[in-house]
Amino acid sequence: MKLIESLLDQRVLPRDPDRLIYDRAADSDPLRTELAERQIELICPHRKNRVKPATQDGRALRRYRRRWKVERTISWLFNFRRLVIRYERYSHLFLGFAQLACVFTLLNKL
């Protein structure tokens, strides 16, 4: 939770994201307020032992339910050792192997 803001400061994108989808570990009111100041909506379910009232309703959590698709796809790509341990020195070669892994994954799922 403490590293989320430093991660956003070191982002690759030219602007801040509109939403940040995270798991229950990020359920913190100070983090929510700091991200709200940066106009970032934090979407994460509340912890079960939360004492304060809920800050979000179930509408935003619909996005959270689709998070498993991204995690599953990343785990499929981690089946390729060349992507897990980056042997390539050049980024265009790594990108090519990542695209090739996507093609093989897609062909295996058909």
Long-range contacts (CB closer than 8 Å, 24 or more residues apart) made by 88-92:
none
Query: Where do the domains of the chain lie?
Result: 4-64, 68-109
pLDDT string in tens for the chain (110-residue length): 678 888 888 877 788 888 888 877 778 888 888 888 989 888 888 777 777 777 776 677 777 777 788 888 889 999 999 888 888 889 999 999 999 999 999 998 88
